[in-house]
Amino acid sequence: MGVEVCWDPAAKQPPAREAAFKSMTAATAGDKDGWLALFAPDAVVEDPVGPSMFDEEGKGHHGRDGLSAFWDKTIGNVEKFEFVIRDSHAAGSEVANVGTITTYLPGGYRVDTDGVFVYRVNEDGLVVSMRAFWETERAMATARQV
């Protein structure tokens, strides 16, 4: 039986876990500006890590312009998100969340993406790095009409 992580906003959390929670909340709300505000100006997002349909060179999305374009290409096209974080490991300025992101896409499709989502923050609590470890083929194999 898996462990469920309770994100109690009233409880003191490590800064990276708090930033990860805020990132998921902004994505769920479709709040692009709020999401971008969570990141340092020189932040890098690798989602997923390595070459993918979202990042052919596998070098990540850099800075506000790169993150804004990443949102438009990915997050902005999702009709609804569900985040289930089964475990969370915070250490130093980072957190690794283990869970499933369910996305509902146009045309009535649903995709479940299992992965490990690693956030690193700076001393101001802004995200400087977000690295998502998940397998495209594995996620696409779950695509189905709802």
Q: Return the pLDDT at 10.
A: 73
Asked whether the CA dihedral 79, 11, 34, 100 is positive or negative, the reply is: negative
Confidence (pLDDT) at 11: 76
Q: What pLDDT, on a 0 to 100 scale, did the predictor assign at position 141?
A: 97
Express each pLDDT in 80-100 by its tens digit: 999 999 999 999 999 999 999
Domain boundaries in the chain?
3-145
Please determine, for residue 1, whether its predicted confidence score (pLDDT) is greater than 50: no
Confidence tier at 9 by pLDDT (50, 70, 90): low
Q: In the predicted model, what is the mean pLDDT of residues 53-76?
A: 96
Q: Burial letters for 62-98: b for 16+ Cβ neighbours within 10 Å, e otherwise?
A: eeeebbbebbeebbeebeebebebeebebeebbbbbb
Question: Which alpha helices (DSSP H) does the chain contain, by range?
Answer: 15-29, 32-36, 63-73, 136-140
CATH classification code of 3-145? 3.10.450.50
pLDDT average, residue stretch 24-49: 97
End-to-end Cα spacing for the chain: 26
- This prediction has a pTM of 0.92
More confident residue, 122 or 4: 122
**43-62 mean pLDDT:** 96
Closest-CA residue to 4 (of 98, 94, 137):
98
